[in-house]
């Protein structure tokens, strides 16, 4: 009996308890010597001479091109169907948007960060995660990719059918005001960008090795859920490049009349998410130097 108790004691010392979760884990983590990464410079001219800078921009172009191609084609298929039951419906559209973000973030995260959205880029810029030079370059490439992606869909569908079935362009739907649409875009983008910050947080990555591997999953799932909620209101923008690409190729009054909602709303939502993450979640302004 005495020998067994000794074995138990040795075993307890050899195999300590697992790391606690919740607030206990936070207190232990704060005790670690974690160094906050320095903020990105506002301007970084040296980036303009680096191939990795242009490679990242090309990756954003291709990813946004593929994103618009698959998603707008899905929207057109649903609109062309004689009934929602004869197509994938709203749930299928939401899965197309969320699934493509999941796949494309996974593919491009190691090259450009996998933004695929000017609102995400804007939020990360406000949090000083990338320079203004890179942010502007990303946004331009994302918009160009979106225009090309929507253009290919129009080429497949034909000018008449593409125009008849809306071209996947965003608008505030009947029964809702512009204020409703703006609010839906602000909240929807806040959810997306907040998820991006949480899934890619450097401090969480340092503590939990599984976080960077799983990052594309919650981001894609957030896009899916936001689409389920807001497709009936605005068709769901939460991505100014997606809205711009569809509007330019559709090029009718319905696509442009309320287009400002799909820039102002996402940028406000992204700014609020960046503020919440930096000030409340990470409390960076309150940390001692």
Per-residue pLDDT reduced to its tens digit, 174-225: 999 999 999 999 999 999 999 999 998 877 665 655 555 688 999 999 999 9
- pLDDT score at 203: 72
Q: How many residues does the chain have?
A: 289
- pLDDT score at 6: 53
Q: Are 76 and 153 in contact (CB under 8 A)?
A: yes
- pLDDT score at 99: 97
Task: Give the pLDDT band of residue 164 (cuts 50, 70, 90).
Answer: confident
Q: Which residue has the higher pLDDT, 249 or 16?
A: 249
Range of weakest confidence among 16-30, 126-140, 218-232: 16-30
- Output the average pLDDT for the chain: 85
Q: What is the pTM of this model?
A: 0.85
- pLDDT score at 209: 54
- pLDDT score at 30: 47
- pLDDT score at 84: 67
Residue 263 has pLDDT above 90, yes or no: yes
- pLDDT score at 45: 85
Residue 273 has pLDDT above 50, yes or no: yes
Per-residue pLDDT reduced to its tens digit, 46-92: 888 899 999 999 999 999 999 999 999 999 999 888 776 778 889 99
Q: Which residue has the higher pLDDT, 80 or 22?
A: 80
- pLDDT score at 264: 97
Q: Which residue has the higher pLDDT, 25 or 182?
A: 182
Q: Which residue has the higher pLDDT, 2 or 97?
A: 97
Residue 29 has pLDDT above 90, yes or no: no
Query: In the chain, pLDDT over 90 holds for what percent of residues?
Result: 63
In terms of average pLDDT, the best of 1-10, 71-80, 261-270, 278-287 is 261-270
- pLDDT score at 206: 58
């Amino acid at each position: 009996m005495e020998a067994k108790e000794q074995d138990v004691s040795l075993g307890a010392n050899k195999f300590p308890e697992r790391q606690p979760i919740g607030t206990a884990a936070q207190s232990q983590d704060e005790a670690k010597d974690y160094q906050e990464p320095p903020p990105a410079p506002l301007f970084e001219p040296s980036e303009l001479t680096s191939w990795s800078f242009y490679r990242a921009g090309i990756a954003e172009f291709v990813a946004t091109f593929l994103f618009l191609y698959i998603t707008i084609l899905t929207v057109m298929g649903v609109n062309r169907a004689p009934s929602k039951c004869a197509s994938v419906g709203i749930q299928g559209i939401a899965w197309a948007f969320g699934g493509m973000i999941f796949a494309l973030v996974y593919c491009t995260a190691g090259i450009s960060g996998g933004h695929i959205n000017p609102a995400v880029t804007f939020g990360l810029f406000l949090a000083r995660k990338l320079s203004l030079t890179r942010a502007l370059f990303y946004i331009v490439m994302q918009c160009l990719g979106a225009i090309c992606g929507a253009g290919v869909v129009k080429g497949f569908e034909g000018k008449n059918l593409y125009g008849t079935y809306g071209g996947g362009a965003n608008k505030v739907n009947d029964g809702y005001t512009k204020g409703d649409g703006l609010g839906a875009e602000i909240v929807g983008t806040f959810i997306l960008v907040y998820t991006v910050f949480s899934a890619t947080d450097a401090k969480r990555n340092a503590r939990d090795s599984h976080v960077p591997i799983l990052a594309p999953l919650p981001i894609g799932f957030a896009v899916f859920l936001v689409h389920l909620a807001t497709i009936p209101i605005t068709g769901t923008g939460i991505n100014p490049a997606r809205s711009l690409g569809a509007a330019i190729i559709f090029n009718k009054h319905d696509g442009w009349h309320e287009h400002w909602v799909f820039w102002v709303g996402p940028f406000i939502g992204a700014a609020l998410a960046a503020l919440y993450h930096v000030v409340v979640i990470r409390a960076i302004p309150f940390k001692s130097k």
